[in-house]
């Protein structure tokens, strides 16, 4: 399989600004960088993404994948990012058919904002079949939460970004941050494709397919600091990830779609606490690991 050529454009992830606090004291803090990246596909302008800029090539690749504009990583010949002009030039091997038509419908989704998911995405949910046997143990879940806690991050130094990570069991494979959490999950989707992860969206056939990395075991598990909205659930399912863990809660559409997909959605996950919202059969409880129950004082 021919993987696309990707540049490795880097740019500073934070910048310093001056502040004044409640005591009238001047100070300096770091804030996350945020820069426009206009995506051109075969020289046609597609979209402008606002991004932290940590992994712009994977972001663009994952964006094309999650918007279902590209069906296979092999369709992309190269992605060239140039921060000087804020542009990502995507070259495809044989063009994208009906690009204009396929990006015409607009659904403004929830996120924290009005995320744009090109139309037809919801229609394809029915074609996604997640591996029925994929599961997570409570011990693995605690391992994930601990790994996130220990992870160095732009969030810790500058705040105001969302983090996402991909795990196999409790082994972290990739950690990504961006100003928008959709960018973070798209970046993970792009990275997955670059790992010769050659299962097309919606064609996940069984729990038994080879793990991404040689040393990795267990089902793929997606972690996000953000809420489990419909788009996060859909994107996760599109990547063939049947288990999603969030520090935050879930929205109604996220819940409905997770139920339809039999996707295990776990939220409010910090320290030893969590709530499993959907598909609890995928979660092997080990309540003895949870510590003592807090009791209300009479």
Distance CA 155, CA 14 (A): 10
Do residues 291 and 272 lie in contact, with contact meaning Cβ atoms separated by under 8 Å?
yes
| Beta carbon nearer to its own copies, 208 or 287 | 287
**Contact call for residue 62 and its own copies (CB under 8 A):** no
Give the one residue of 5, 10, 15, 95 binding its own copies; rule: CB under 8 A.
15
Half-sphere exposure of 190 (CA within 13 A, CB side): 26
**Contact call for residue 135 and its own copies (CB under 8 A):** no
**Contact call for residue 196 and its own copies (CB under 8 A):** no
| Least distance to its own copies, CB of residue 65, Å | 14
| Beta carbon nearer to its own copies, 31 or 199 | 31
Tokens of 1: 């399989």
**Interface segment toward its own copies; rule CB under 8 A; list 69-77, 166-174, 192-200, 243-251:** 243-251
Distance CA 220, CA 217 (A): 9
Question: What's the DSSP call for residue 148?
Answer: H
Site track for its own copies across 72-111, x = CB under 8 A: -------------------------------x--xxxxxx
Residue 252, Cβ density class (10 Å: 0-12 exposed, 13-18 middle, ≥19 buried): exposed
Site track for its own copies across 106-125, x = CB under 8 A: xxxxxxxxxxxx--------
Distance CA 66, CA 72 (A): 11
Residue 77, Cβ density class (10 Å: 0-12 exposed, 13-18 middle, ≥19 buried): middle
Question: What's the DSSP call for residue 238?
Answer: H
| Beta carbon nearer to its own copies, 65 or 227 | 227
* Site residues for its own copies per CB under 8 A: 15, 17, 19-24, 27, 29, 31-36, 47-50, 103, 106-117, 138, 158-160, 162, 179-183, 226-227, 229-231, 248-255, 272-277, 280, 283, 285, 287, 289-290, 293
């Amino acid at each position: 399989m021919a993987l696309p050529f990707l540049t490795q454009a880097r740019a500073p992830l934070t910048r310093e600004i001056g502040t004044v606090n409640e005591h009238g004291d001047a100070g300096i803090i770091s804030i996350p960088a945020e820069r426009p990246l206009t995506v051109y596909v075969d020289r046609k302008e597609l979209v402008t993404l606002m991004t932290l800029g940590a992994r712009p090539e994977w972001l663009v690749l994952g964006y094309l994948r999650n918007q279902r504009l590209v069906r296979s990583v092999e369709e992309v010949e190269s992605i060239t990012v140039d921060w000087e002009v804020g542009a990502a030039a995507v070259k495809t091997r044989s063009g994208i058919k009906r690009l204009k038509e396929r990006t015409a419908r607009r659904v403004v989704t929830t996120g924290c904002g009005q995320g744009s998911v090109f139309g037809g995405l919801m229609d394809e949910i029915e074609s996604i079949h997640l591996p029925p046997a994929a599961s997570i143990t409570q011990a693995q879940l605690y391992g994930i939460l601990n790994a996130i806690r220990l992870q160095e991050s732009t969030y810790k130094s500058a705040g105001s970004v969302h983090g996402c990570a991909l795990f196999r069991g409790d082994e972290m494979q990739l950690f990504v941050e961006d100003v928008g959490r959709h960018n973070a999950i798209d970046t993970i989707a792009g990275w997955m494709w670059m790992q010769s992860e050659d299962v097309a969206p919606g064609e996940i056939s069984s729990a038994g397919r080879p793990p991404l990395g040689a040393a990795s075991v267990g089902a793929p598990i997606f972690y996000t600091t953000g809420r489990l909205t419909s788009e996060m659930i859909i994107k996760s399912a599109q990547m063939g990830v049947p288990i999603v863990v969030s520090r935050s809660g879930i929205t109604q559409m996220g819940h409905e779609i997770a139920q339809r997909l039999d996707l295990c959605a776990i939220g409010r996950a910090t320290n030893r606490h969590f709530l499993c919202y959907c598909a609890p059969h995928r979660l092997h409880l080990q309540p003895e690991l949870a510590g003592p129950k807090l009791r209300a004082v009479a």
